[in-house]
Amino acid sequence: MTLSPVYLFEKLGRRIGVSTCTGDFYELPFATFNSLKKWDHAICKSKGAVSAVAAEKLARRFSIPEEVSRRFPLRPASCMTPKVSAILTDLTLNITSDCNLRCVYCWNDTGKYSNSAFKSEKAGPRSEAPCLPPMSQETAVKAVDLLVQMSAGEKQLVVDFYGGEPLKNLPTLLATVEYCKTIERKKKTKFHFLLATNGTLLTPELAEKLIGLGVQIAVSVDGPGPIHDRNRPMRNGNGSFAAIAGNLQKMRPEIRLRLVGRTTVTPYYTDMVSLYRNLKELGFERVEIFESEDACHRITQGRESIFFQKQKDFRRLFREYELLAGKYSEEAVSGVLDYGKTFFNRFFKLMQRLYYNHHVTGGCPAAQGQIAVSADGEIFPCTSFIGITAFSLGNVHSGVNRKKYLSLLEQMKKRFRECGNCRLFSVCGTTGSCLNINHYFNRDISKPHLRSCRLFEEKIKLAIAVLAVLSERMPDRLESLFGHDPVGRRGNKLY
């Protein structure tokens, strides 16, 4: 059987054709769209392999001009050549597992992460056991040295401070930034610092200090007070919204505008457009809205991610993303959004890569572009694997276990075989399904979790459709919206 040469879909009133070989995508007239459907169906239903000559004959039968059919060549095996790399550009430091909140979807669980997975079908509350010790400054410095050592001379590196609540280990955070700046002066390497915080400890003075040091700060706010407080209560059960809003209100406007407002969406409240407006009302110009993920947190094969448990919630997530994509499109056309306000946003990052490369350049960065380091210095492919001994790649104090590292990269290559028959492979490049979720649901990092793939497919379709809208309505301003190709610069995560 010959693989389909074209992936066709309709979204936001646009008819799109994607080459399954090159990843190039085109907006199509109604008649051409329907003719390509018939052509594609005929090719896929043919017995045996279809040659390029035979495909052209079929195209003529369906009145498809040669200049159109040649945009969608048959896909050779070379389109699926595995590409993996051990060059690092991104480092996530889990500097503490301590936190003053008890968010309903948190999977840190006082530092146990994946150690708590597969033990029970029930989703119990977060443990109140003592947290693991915070990361020392020595461990953080060793991790940065490892990043530089494995960066192969890359000049744009990312250090992401993670927790727990990272501001609970401020001394290590500040010492790490200062150490990176000494490297910048010696090696002409530029470090980009990312920090995700719950905002309760982010005083105006601290925000100014961190921004002055070049730290990009994302503050988690899950909606108006009642919604946020349900999702993100304090350790004693009280709400946390008032403390965060109080800190934001005390900040100088020019400081508040430098922050990123990040909302995690759960089935409890899914109106993403309203959540977007709420972030704007709080004074954020830079926003990120994303569905809750359950990677690492007591996942079993009987308990999928929040939105994957019920088909109705899954469909609702699709609808809300489409409405949000429409809102993003309106804001971009009106000039409200530009690159300075969207570089942190995963949906715009996805559009950037599609705009510049016509495929999701970079893909999943776990172990091939990014590593995560736990508080005790253990090295993992990404934060989602922290705590799973089988995926430990060494320790920053003793070095990388090259045998395990290379073995993992070889295992990751198998994804290309698993995904080879997917029509969107040329665009997705195996990015659509998180390796950690693959591991939990399939016990194999190379075997995709199909619902994750289905969700990423929807996001790709929305991103391409919005690109079609923007190309028509603001063709001269796309560069200002997308900036330059951002691969590896602000973190790689897309799904």
pLDDT digits (tens, 9 = 90+) for 296-313: 444 444 444 566 667 777
Q: For residues 328 and 465, is the Cβ–Cβ distance under 8 A?
A: no
pLDDT digits (tens, 9 = 90+) for 259-298: 999 999 888 888 999 999 999 999 999 999 988 765 444 4
pLDDT digits (tens, 9 = 90+) for 349-389: 899 888 887 666 556 788 888 999 999 999 999 988 988 89
Q: Higher model confidence: residue 108 or residue 27?
A: 27
> What pLDDT does 343 receive?
81
Does 437 score more than 90 pLDDT? no
Q: Give the sign of the dihedral formed by CA 286, CA 289, CA 295, CA 296.
A: positive
- The vertex-236 CA angle with 231 and 241, nearest 5°, equals 45
Does 61 score more than 90 pLDDT? yes
> What pLDDT does 278 receive?
97
Question: Picking from 9-13, 229-233, 445-449, which range would have the lowest pLDDT averaged per residue?
Answer: 445-449
Q: For residues 256 and 248, is the Cβ–Cβ distance under 8 A?
A: yes
Question: Picking from 80-89, 277-286, 310-319, which range would have the lowest pLDDT averaged per residue?
Answer: 80-89
Question: Picking from 124-138, 161-175, 227-241, 328-342, which range would have the lowest pLDDT averaged per residue?
Answer: 124-138
Please report, rounded to a whole number, the percentage of residues in the chain having pLDDT higher than 90: 61
Question: Picking from 282-286, 389-393, 434-438, which range would have the lowest pLDDT averaged per residue?
Answer: 434-438
- pLDDT average, residue stretch 84-88: 81
> What pLDDT does 248 receive?
98
Cα distances (Å, whole numbers) of residue 136 to 139, 140, 157, 161, 171: 5, 6, 21, 13, 9
> What pLDDT does 2 receive?
73
3-state helix, strand, coil in the chain (%, to 5): 45, 15, 40
- Model confidence band, residue 495 (pLDDT cutoffs 50, 70, 90): very low
Does 187 score more than 60 pLDDT? yes
Does 62 score more than 60 pLDDT? yes
Average pLDDT value for the chain: 87
> What pLDDT does 442 receive?
86
> What pLDDT does 363 receive?
63
Does 159 score more than 60 pLDDT? yes
> What pLDDT does 127 receive?
56
> What pLDDT does 447 receive?
92
- Model confidence band, residue 72 (pLDDT cutoffs 50, 70, 90): very high
DSSP codes joined into one string, 121-143: SS-PPPP-SPPPPPPPHHHHHHH
- pLDDT average, residue stretch 45-67: 90
- Model confidence band, residue 170 (pLDDT cutoffs 50, 70, 90): very high
Q: What is the pTM of this model?
A: 0.90
- Name the segment(s) of the chain with CATH classification 3.20.20.70: 82-495
Q: For residues 213 and 171, is the Cβ–Cβ distance under 8 A?
A: no
Specify the CATH number of the domain 82-495. Answer: 3.20.20.70
State the SS3 of 248-291: HHHCCHHHHCCCEEEEEEECCECCHHHHHHHHHHCCCCEEEEEE
Q: Higher model confidence: residue 476 or residue 365?
A: 476
Q: For residues 304 and 125, is the Cβ–Cβ distance under 8 A?
A: no
Does 122 score more than 50 pLDDT? no
